[in-house]
């Protein structure tokens, strides 16, 4: 079964049609790209999938279940995690806390347990903590566990945000411009990282990215949107030579 199936997804902001008739199917374990010029509606797609907006029309099926209309935390609990175009870490909580809090949907204890420090609470907190530390270790972030994100360099913040998304234990990971603001060396590392994450965490990845080399290198399938309309979709090779795409990016020297 497809991880994500989007049919006829359409969204209006007042009179502005930010997205129209988007159709996409993501198969398990794939790396897919979503590209398009500025303001094309890419982030809107992610916001719709993560439940931040309720779509004006259309269907979003995650693992066969229609998730359109669910609240964001419910969508996340089902196994959809994301990062943000502008990093949105909790800047005054430690990196470790950032990772721990993203396990809220599977805490397994409640208010009374927390106040009374029941056995269940202590067991789960220990597990949550161990999981978070291991995740940081695996992503080579162990040394910043006690730091506040606001004190970290930009590249590390991006990495921590990725770690936080993985802490959800997602089946589908949405990355909104993971390479934005990174230098060339960081971008190379990111490419290796993303591929490795897909295999290590057995997760399906859908990414928005402006760096064409990143998308072309990583993605087996790419969708291009412009003004909310899907103008092309196919393999990197097909996209590279597609006249409509070249047209949309004309004047945009990125492709």
Contacting positions for ligand ATP (CB under 6 A): 13, 16, 18, 36, 38-44, 85
Among 77, 138, 180, 187, binds another protein (CB under 8 A): 77
The H or E element spanning position 243 is: helix 243-248
Determine, following the binding rule CB under 8 A, whether residue 104 of this chain makes contact with another protein: yes
Q: Residue 43 or 76: which CB sits closer to Mg ion?
A: 43
Q: Regarding beta strands 57-62 and 4-13, do their DSSP bridges make them parallel or antiparallel, or are they unpaired?
A: antiparallel
Per-residue H/E/C for the chain:
CCCEEEEEEEEEECCEEEEEEEEEEECCCCEEEEECCCCCCHHHHHHHHCCCCCCCEEEEEECCEECCCCCHHHHHHHCEEECCCCCCCCCCCCHHHHHHHCCHHHCCCCHHHHHHCCHHHHHHHHHHHHHHHHHHHHCCCHHHCCCCHHHCCHHHHHHHHHHHHHHCCCCEEEEECCCCCCCHHHHHHHHHHHHHHHHHCCCEEEEECCCHHHHHHHCCEEEEEECCEEEEEECHHHHHHCHHHHHHCCCCCCC
Q: Residue 74 or 241: which CB sits closer to another protein?
A: 74
Residue 246 contacts which entry, another protein, ligand ATP, Mg ion, none (Cβ below 5-8 A, type-dependent): none
Determine, following the binding rule CB under 8 A, whether residue 97 of this chain makes contact with another protein: yes
Among 6-14, 33-41, 89-97, 178-186, the segment contacting another protein (CB under 8 A): 89-97
Among 23-31, 101-109, 195-203, 214-222, the segment contacting another protein (CB under 8 A): 101-109
Determine, following the binding rule CB under 8 A, whether residue 50 of this chain makes contact with another protein: yes
Q: Residue 131 or 227: which CB sits closer to ligand ATP?
A: 227
Positive or negative, the CA dihedral 71, 26, 45, 149 is positive
Q: Residue 6 or 166: which CB sits closer to another protein?
A: 166
Among 42, 82, 159, 221, binds another protein (CB under 8 A): 82
Positive or negative, the CA dihedral 134, 140, 143, 148 is negative
CB of 86 to Mg ion, least distance (A): 9
Residue 36 contacts which entry, ligand ATP, Mg ion, another protein, none (Cβ below 5-8 A, type-dependent): ligand ATP
Determine, following the binding rule CB under 8 A, whether residue 44 of this chain makes contact with another protein: no
- Catalog residues that contact another protein under the rule CB under 8 A: 50-52, 71-73, 76-77, 81-82, 84, 88-94, 96-97, 100-105, 107, 109-111, 114-115, 117, 121-123, 125-126, 128-129, 143, 145-146, 148, 164-165, 168
- Catalog residues that contact Mg ion under the rule CB under 5 A: 43, 85
């Amino acid at each position: 079964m497809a991880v994500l199936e989007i049919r006829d997804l359409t969204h209006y902001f007042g009179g502005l049609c930010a997205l129209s008739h988007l159709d996409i199917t993501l198969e398990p374990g794939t790396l897919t790209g979503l590209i398009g010029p500025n303001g094309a509606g890419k982030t809107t797609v992610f916001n719709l999938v993560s439940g931040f907006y309720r779509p004006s029309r259309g269907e979003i099926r995650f693992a066969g279940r229609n998730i359109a209309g669910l609240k964001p935390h419910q969508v996340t609990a089902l196994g959809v995690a994301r990062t943000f175009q502008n990093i949105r870490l909790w800047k005054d909580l430690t990196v470790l806390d950032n990772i721990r809090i993203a396990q809220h949907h599977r805490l397994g204890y409640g208010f009374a347990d927390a106040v009374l420090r029941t056995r269940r609470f202590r067991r789960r907190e220990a597990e949550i903590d161990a999981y978070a530390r291991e995740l940081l270790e695996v992503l080579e972030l162990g040394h910043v566990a006690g730091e506040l994100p606001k004190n970290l360099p930009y590249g590390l913040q991006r990495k921590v945000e990725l770690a936080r998304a993985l802490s959800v234990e997602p089946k589908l990971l949405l990355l909104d411009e993971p390479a934005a603001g990174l230098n060339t060396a960081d971008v190379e590392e990111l490419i290796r990282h993303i591929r490795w994450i897909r295999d290590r965490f057995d997760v399906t990845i859908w990414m928005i990215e402006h760096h064409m080399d990143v998308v072309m290198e990583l993605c087996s399938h790419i969708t291009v949107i412009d003004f909310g309309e899907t103008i092309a979709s196919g393999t990197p090779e097909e996209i590279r030579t597609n006249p409509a795409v070249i047209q949309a990016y004309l004047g945009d020297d990125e492709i």
